[in-house]
Amino acid sequence: MRVLLTGHQGYIGTILVPMLKAAGHDVVGLDNGLFEACVYTGQIDEIPEIKKDVREVEAEDLEGFDAVLHLAGLSNDPLGNLNPELTFEINHLASTRLAEHAKAAGVTRFIFSSSCSNYGAAGDDMLNESSAFNPVTPYGISKVRVEQDLSAMADDDFTPTYLRNSTAYGVSPRIRFDLVVNNLVAWALCTHRVYLKSDGTPWRPIVHIEDISRAFLAVLHAPRELVHNEAFNVGRNDENYRIREIAEIVAEIVPDCRIDYAPDAGPDTRCYRVDCSKILEALPEFQPQWTVRKGVTELYETYRREGLTLEEFEGERFSRIVYLKGLLADGRIDSSLRWRTREAVA
């Protein structure tokens, strides 16, 4: 297939690109390059790309593609809280507009990177794809709205699918230290503390970015009738953890560290467990390979090999919200998170 991957330069995109190529797909990327300077380790595959903000995409950009895989957007809850209106503009309105243009251009499949943040404050119950939405952040609300808009667009010629990813972790050329597993391992290595900012009681489903990528491939390859206007929780049922349980695993694997709680650590309203049986049963190609214990080992060994320092870990390059604030302060992007012209920067 000829596939357009939005956000191909990002945390997940740089992992998904080589997997798509290995599966024989003709892949083109679309990215505004905001994080192109944020390279941590490994190689980034060079592919044909459209250098464009997702808000500026037109139907002609999408002609000739069989599928759009949509990753681009403001990538987490803290980043979404930076400017809620901008979150809705980019994550909601631009995503819906992208899908409308894709449909108009004759693209038949649209795979949307949604999130288990849709479930928000859900307590201890196991949630499946028919469970009620209860998002508590602009990020989660934006994902719900896109699913609703795309569902209304589904017809015989346009098949949207919604991958509700569990909380991501794992090594990527464009690593993020603002994700819970990646963050806790970095704290442990750099400070000998597994540092928790909440009381550790909230539930989180956890999934490696390679397994998220496997889910995209499984949907892309599946017969249309199995994925048409369907949502799938992405992860494994046995990979739901309380945050403190993840901390305990990190403390077991990273030598000479202890678990510490922030002085103001309290409960987090985001608390959800998810049932991932549907994707495993409906799409046999999806065979997740990772557990959080294996992932913590991968992260620890990579951080140690790369000589991760506290200064680098706490610096701006690998925390999305801190990096964007730096670009704003330097005048390199404007308040809408668009690049300024060279003349304007000068």
Strands (E) in the chain, as ranges, are: 2-6, 26-31, 49-51, 67-70, 109-115, 121-127, 159-165, 167-169, 193-198, 203-208, 230-234, 240-242, 258-266, 271-274
- Rounded Cα distance between 119 and 139, Å, is 12
Average pLDDT over residues 325-344: 81
> How many CB atoms lie under 10 A from the CB of residue 293?
14
Q: Is the pLDDT of residue 345 over 80?
A: no
Tell me which residue has tokens 């060279």. Answer: 342
CB-based contact 256:188 (threshold 8 Å)? no
Instruction: Return the pLDDT at 121.
Output: 77
CA angle 176, 181, 183 (to 5 degrees): 55
Taking the C-alpha atoms of residue 25 and residue 47, their distance in angstroms, rounded to an integer, is: 12
Percent of residues, the chain, with pLDDT higher than 90: 77
CB of 47 closer than 8 Å to CB of 17: yes
pLDDT given at position 320:
81
Contacts of 56 (CB under 8 A, 6+ apart): none
Strand partners, 4: 28, 68
Q: Which residue has the tokens 């065979």?
A: 287
**Mean of pLDDT values over 24-37:** 95
Instruction: Tokens for 46, please give them.
Output: 């060079």
Q: CA 263 to CA 343: how far, in whole Å?
A: 46
CATH topology for 2-176+207-241+271-290+322-342 is Rossmann fold (3.40.50)
Q: When comparing pLDDT for 1 and 80, which is higher?
A: 1
Given a contact cutoff of 8 angstroms between Cβ atoms, the answer to whether 31 and 49 are in contact is: yes
The pLDDT-based confidence of 80 (bands split at 50, 70, 90) is low
The span from the CA of 33 to the CA of 52, in Å, is 8
How do residues 216-253 score in pLDDT, each as one tens digit? 999 999 999 999 999 999 999 999 999 999 999 999 99
pTM for the structure as a whole: 0.94
Confidence of residue 83 (pLDDT cuts 50, 70, 90): confident
The pLDDT, as a whole number, for residue 85 is 87
pLDDT at 77: 52
pLDDT for 99: 98
pLDDT at 190 over 80: yes
Asked whether the predicted pLDDT for residue 343 surpasses 80, the reply is no
260-277 b/e with 16+ CB inside 10 Å = b? Answer: ebeeeeeebebbbbbbbe
pLDDT in tens, 157-169: 999 999 999 999 9
Mean of pLDDT values over 131-147: 93
User: Average per-residue pLDDT in the chain?
Assistant: 92
Residue 342 confidence class, pLDDT cut points 50, 70, 90:
very low
Per-residue model confidence as pLDDT tens digits over 283-315 = 999 999 999 999 999 999 999 999 999 999 988
